[in-house]
Chain A
Amino acid sequence: MHVLAIDDSRTIRDMVRLTLEREGIRSTMAVDGMEGLEILKAMDPQPDAILTDVNMPRLDGFGFIEAVRALDVFAGIPILVLTTEGAKELKQRARNAGATGWIVKPFDPARLVVALRTVTGLR
């Protein structure tokens, strides 16, 4: 499995990378939505899933998801939103943008991996 993870916090990026690495999951990192979008378009093959933060400079998580979903080639790619916000309002916005699921930080590594496996259908 190969995951594109987007977060402006180096700490969180490192934690995600470590978590996935331990499970043998490859990861590619981006620091904001804009970079995430560029990397995603350049990735061949496509990542199996995307993990994104909400609050980021330049292009936030919602904008990123909307931009991804607007492109037919990425319509089916699972996108999990990873953020500290727990408010329903935000979840609904993420859902409207086209998010597949929602994970609240700080995340339990095991659950993150299970979630990724569930949405990708990959072991």
Chain B
Amino acid sequence: MSSMDEIRATFFEECTELLEQLEGGLLRLEAGEQDADTVDAVFRAVHSIKGGAGAFHLTDLISFSHEFETALDGLRTGAVALEASVVATLLRASDRLGDLVAKAADGEVGDPSIPKDLADLAARAASGGSDEDDDFGLLDLPAMEEAFTVTRIDIDLDPGGPNAPPSGAAPTPSPMKPGGYWEICFEPLPDLFASGNEPLYLFRALHVMGRLTPRLIETDLPTLEELDPSQPRVRWIIDLVPSAPDLTETEIESVFEFAQDLCVFSIAHCEPEDPEPGAQGTALPANVAAGKPDPAEAQLSSVAPDAPSAPAALAPEPKPEAAAAGKQPDGAAPDGKAKGGLSTTIRVDLDRIDRLVNLVGELVICQAMLTQSVLKDGLGTNSDSASGLDDLQQLTRDIQDSVMAIRAQPVRSLFQRMTRIVREAAQMTGKDIRLETEGEATEIDKTVVERLSDPLTHMIRNSIDHGIEAPDRRVELGKDRVGVVRLSARQQSDRVVIEITDDGRGIDRERVLARAIERGLVPADRQLDPAEIDRLLFLPGFSTADGISSLSGRGVGMDVVQRAIRDLNGTITTQSEPGKGSTFSISLPLTLAILDGMIVRSAQQRMVIPLAAIIETQTLDSARIESISPTRSVVMLQDRFVPLLDLAEGMGFARPARAEGAPPDEDSALLFVQPDDFDAYALRVDAIEAQRQVVIKGLGESFGRVPCVSAATILGDGQVALIIDPGGLALAAESIRSPLPAEVQA
């Protein structure tokens, strides 16, 4: 990646943050926190996006953000009042800006049209007398695009005078004849030194262009007692014989660009037949000889007495330090993060952190292997080596936790994104919705935060589309006209629970059951309790929407949501009360790198079953197993029968032949597992070896998606073990997927 590509990537990364700041600020404004700092922060976010967009020729972004910025400037100047309708317009504009950024990031050009409400707002802002942006705001688009091309630069240091672009149209004199030279008159005005311009440096820049013959005119120099060293009291006439004959007046002028309003300056082009440099007088170009020096002198004599003395000039009216100090408390970063002067965060490439996470994973494995070999070598648990290993284990755990904490991110940005989803969904369905959020500071792995976006979006749309009633209906029901969707996050031991709650009609279980029967997902005569009915929502191919609504009926069901959550080693559950609303709870591990698992053996393979899915274990001889057909068995779990599956069979491993009638392995055990979207079933394994935290290792892309297997791990002895996906296993096994005959149900 070239450096420029990297900066481009940085720009879009920064845009994401700026868009979050923008939206966060607008939402604060909407909530009534209408202070100047928030308005400034919102303005700056758009301003920065425009600035960066300019560097990459993203004209659609530039024109849109410019209009947006103009509208926001109206808030700053007070030309536009902060009414609810204005904030709504700005929020919509921020959504559009987000779209344009996303398009630009994909290398596409978005729709550059300016929505009418935003254009009106910008017009109001501009007419309200923005004193800062006047000439810029009036630029038409083509001119603006030109202004934003990187190949050209506008350096304008002449606040009072005509704006002459350096690459301007000034007619260039014909190439200099051999022996020709330029005569430059330069007389600094009193403020030149205060601006940090140094005549010596300007002469150095001229010196690069050719041979200089400077003459100092010091006739105005006062006596030493009267001399104020901060005040320039001399002028120069410099003859420049260019080393390149095609040196133009514009090029020479460009050296003095920064000083143009702080000096009296003229350039004359002298032919070789002109008198020798140094001979002042008659033959000099008319403007130099007659005009220029005289007005300069006049100006100097008229300016000098009035001009503020240097100390005054160097200490302007408002005490800057006091002003600066005064600004700090209220001007502190709006999110309150950047306290003190220096930033306390550093940015680190995610790859580096992942490498560290991986290495720590290896360290954990290595430490476990070392522990095993120490014990194998006969060193007792009381030996120095063993106790040293204990310390190492503790340290390794601490390192692991610390490294995981680096990847942790608050869910705030994720929740903030959902405000837009709610807004859009409310608009499309014509419902009034308020989003309440809680626990935004709850931290979870960055990848989890990113991958939760789609499932959350889908669930929130579902809640609004299917859950919350139309406003009129709500009023009829005696509910508040405005429906509430709550999004909350909290940490519960080593998991994070995210809940989406709505105060709508709740799950219509009759309809859900009818639909499931209609689709053949459950037998018509099947009696299901409410929780079982709710779980039907997550079956593949289930959709309650009678007609495809524009919002949630996009062919994506809750099964996809569940799949996404399961990919994150998470689980999803529902709670619903008719007429009161529903809650969907997502429980997620704090990290994607470690899994609590049960290490089991089956057909001489060692595998890991996620502990979260195991509800009970039994030894084989204590279990009550009934055979209901040659290929199917069930086993009693508490007071009901559940299907039984042999793990090795389910995984398709060949069992070593065993003598007919031989007694079953005495270590054989049953694990009762309950995947999210399936009823519980029993897994027969040859032995349960240990319960342990394992480091999750991806299978590698070349394997693609392996049914029944979610990942792999390396065990303490260095062997690889597969981590089993109980849901996938159930899906693959016909004996579990198909419902049990009615007679076994009892």
A residues apposed to B, CB below 8 Å: 8-12, 14-15, 18, 31, 33-35, 37-39, 55-59, 63-64, 66-67, 69-70, 72, 75-79, 83-92, 95-108, 111-112, 114-115, 117-121
Contacts and interface: CB of A to CB of B under 8 A. Distances in A.
B201 A120 contact: yes
Contacts of A103: 153, 155
A76 B196 contact: yes
Contacts of B689: none
B51 interface: yes
A100 B41 contact: no
B77 interface: no
Given A18-B3, A108-B152, 9 more contacts: A56-B44, A70-B314, A97-B316, A100-B258, A102-B156, A102-B258, A117-B205, A119-B198, A120-B201
Given A69-B194, A70-B319, A88-B135, A104 B153 contact: yes
13 contacts: A9-B52, A12-B52, A14-B7, A18-B4, A31-B343, A55-B47, A57-B44, A58-B331, A66-B318, A69-B194, A86-B156, A88-B135, A115-B155
A9 B48 contact: yes
A75 B194 contact: yes
**Is chain B's interface secondary structure helix, strand, loop, or mixed overall?**
helix
B197 A100 contact: yes
A69 B314 contact: yes
B315 A35 contact: no
B19 to A, nearest CB: 14
B327 A35 contact: no
B204 A10 contact: no
A100 B156 contact: no
Given A85-B136, A98-B194, A103-B153, A12 B55 contact: yes
Contact of B52 (A11, A38, A108): A11
B424 interface: no
A107 to B, nearest CB: 6
B98 to A, nearest CB: 17
Contacts of B52: 9, 11-12
Interface of B: 3-4, 6-7, 10-11, 13-14, 40-41, 43-44, 47-48, 50-52, 54-55, 131-136, 147-157, 159-160, 163, 193-198, 200-202, 204-205, 254-255, 257-258, 261, 314-316, 318-321, 323-324, 327-328, 331-334, 338, 341-343
Contacts of B13: 10
A57 B41 contact: yes
A72 B319 CA distance: 14
B157 A84 contact: no
B321 A67 contact: yes
A80 B41 CA distance: 24
B198 A66 contact: no
Given A11-B11, A15-B55, A67 B257 contact: no
Contact of B135 (A58, A87, A120): A87
Nearest to B15: A11
Contacts of A92: 159-160
Enumerate the 10 nearest inter-chain pairs by beta-carbon distance, A residue then B residue, closest first. Answer: A121-B201, A101-B258, A66-B320, A100-B196, A108-B153, A11-B52, A92-B159, A11-B11, A67-B320, A106-B55
Contacts of A8: 44, 48
Nearest to B331: A58
Contacts of B341: 34-35, 37-38
